[in-house]
Structure formats: structure tokens, C-alpha cells
Amino acid sequence: MTQFAAAVQDWSKSLRLLPLWTNLALEDLRDRYRRTALGLTWIFTSFALFVGVKVFVFGQLTRVPAAEFGIYVTLGFGLWSYVNAMVVDACTAYMHSRPWILGTSTPYPVFLLQTVFRNWVAFALILLVMIASLAWKTTPWTWGSLTAIPALAVYVLSSLWLGAIFAPLCARYRDLYHTVQTSMRLIFFATPILWMPSTSGRLALLAHLNPIAHFIAIVREPLMYNRIPYESWLVVLAINAAGLVIGAVVYATTRKHVAHWV
């Protein structure tokens, strides 16, 4: 059996093990908030408070109407929270599953799917705050707003190849995890979340060159302005096409070595 055929078999088998990776993901979340009074509600409570402070502080530095800026920050930071969590957790997907990898014959995509599902459960709670913020939307709703739904589906696809690439490479090269984590902290300030590209020519150029800004735009633009950002869609689809190819190659060529690296 070729490497790619074995990789396809791994993914096919893992998708059929849905109860396993969903329960592993939920157990992760239960462990994280075990013995807390608020439990999982800490996710959207802390997010809502964090966004409220950001809007209050940074809203003083912009001439944009308070309602518009509040929605802009809430949607942007919510989407960023998922992207950042998924990138960082993708790096540690195999390392956190070390006992399973060494002690069972579970196919490795199970641990990638576990990571994706865990982050989507958390993101679903953040979505509640994001949806609530749209109550202050001043522009009328149009059919264009519905393009935010396939945009979120693209996030799922991106999460899978991110895990396929970063999980084995970070297990092999441990410094890569810290590099990615530090880079994401810096990229946050280069992403239009607390600032708007329209306020400065240099910031507009920075947003144009930042791929994460395009991922945020395909969801935020339709919801806020009923606008479909075609250029951002082209960038996102191109990144996903390249990511799927690279992810398939990396997974197929590293799957035999993961147990030695974790």
C-alpha cells in the first residue's frame, strides 16, 4: 500500500470513529473547566467582557460610530479567537495525545478531528456573543449576508489541513510550536481587529497583505455591510487549495514517524 493510500485509509477510518473524537474533545473541555462554578459559560463570559473593554478603550481612538465599531471588534476578535486557537492547538494535537499514540493503534486523524471539534464547540459559545452584537447592525439584511455560512464552512476545511501540517512538524521540531505561538501574538496587531483599514493607507496595505485578514473579511464583510469580498474569497480559496495539497503530502510522509517524535 502506498503512503497516500494508507493516509486516505486513516482519514476514512477516523471519520467513522465520530463518537471517539467528539467525546475526547468534550472531555478536554470538561477537564479544562472542571470544578468551576460557571463551567463552559466562562468561554463566552470572558469573551464578552474582553470585547467590551476593548471597544470601550479603543472606541475612544476612532471616529467610527460606536455601534459599528463595537460590531466590527466583536466579529473580528471572535473570528480571530478561533483562528488563533486552531493554529496553536494544531501544533500540539499529537503531543497532547501522546499516551493514545503510544498505547493504541488509533489512526492519527482522530486527534486532529478532536482538536477541530473542541475548538468549534468553544467557538459556538463565542458565536452567541457575535450574533448578539448584530442587534446593533444599522444596515438592512440582504441575501449577501448568507455568504458568511459557507465562509465558516471554509474555516473547518482550513482547520483540517492546519492540523495535518503543524501537528507532525511541531512534534518533530519543538521550537516550531513556540515560533508559531509567538508569531500569532505579533500577527494579531497586524490584523484589522482593533483598527479599520479604511482609516489609513498604510493600514489598508497591511490588511491586504495579511492572509488572516482575508479569512476574517469573508465572514465579517457580509454580516456587517452585506458585501461579498470577492478578492478575499480568491485569496482564501487559493490558500486552502495549497494547504490541502501540502497537508496531504506532510501527513502521508510523516505518519510512520509520529510515534517516534511524540
| Model confidence at 200: pLDDT above 70 | no
Q: Cell digits for 224?
A: 456587517
Find the length of the chain.
262
pLDDT digits (tens, 9 = 90+) for 63-83: 788 888 899 999 999 999 999
Q: Quote the domain boundaries for residue 177.
A: 3-261
How many domains is the chain partitioned into structurally?
Answer: 1
Supply the pLDDT for residue 255: 93
Q: Give mean pLDDT, residues 218-242.
A: 95
Q: Is 249 exposed, middle or buried (0-12, 13-18, 19+ CB in 10 A)?
A: middle
Number of Cβ atoms within 10 Å of the Cβ of 222 = 22
Place 60 in a pLDDT band, splitting at 50, 70 and 90.
confident
Sign of torsion, CA 14 15 18 24? positive
Supply the pLDDT for residue 199: 58
Q: How far is CA 72 from CA 6, 106, 179, 224, in A?
A: 44, 42, 29, 8
> Are the C-beta atoms of residues 116 and 86 closer than 8 Å to each other?
yes
Q: Which residue has the higher pLDDT, 33 or 254?
A: 254
| Model confidence at 1: pLDDT above 80 | no
Distance from C-alpha of 62 to C-alpha of 237, rounded to nearest angstrom:
32
Q: Give backbone dihedrals phi and psi of 141, rounded to 5 degrees, phi first.
A: -80, 140
CA 49 to chain centre: 20
pLDDT digits (tens, 9 = 90+) for 84-128: 999 999 999 999 999 999 999 999 999 999 999 999 999 999 999
Q: Give mean pLDDT, residues 160-171.
A: 97
Supply the pLDDT for residue 23: 95
Q: Cell digits for 53?
A: 473593554
Q: Cell digits for 262?
A: 511524540
DSSP code for 100: H
Supply the pLDDT for residue 110: 97
Place 35 in a pLDDT band, splitting at 50, 70 and 90.
confident
Supply the pLDDT for residue 217: 96
Q: How far is CA 198 from CA 24, 55, 151, 212, in A?
A: 43, 18, 23, 17
Supply the pLDDT for residue 21: 96
Query: Which amino acid is it at 80?
Result: W
Distance from C-alpha of 165 to C-alpha of 251, rounded to nearest angstrom:
7
Query: Which residue is listed with cell 478536554?
Result: 28
Range of weakest confidence among 19-23, 55-59, 133-137, 240-244: 55-59
Supply the pLDDT for residue 235: 97
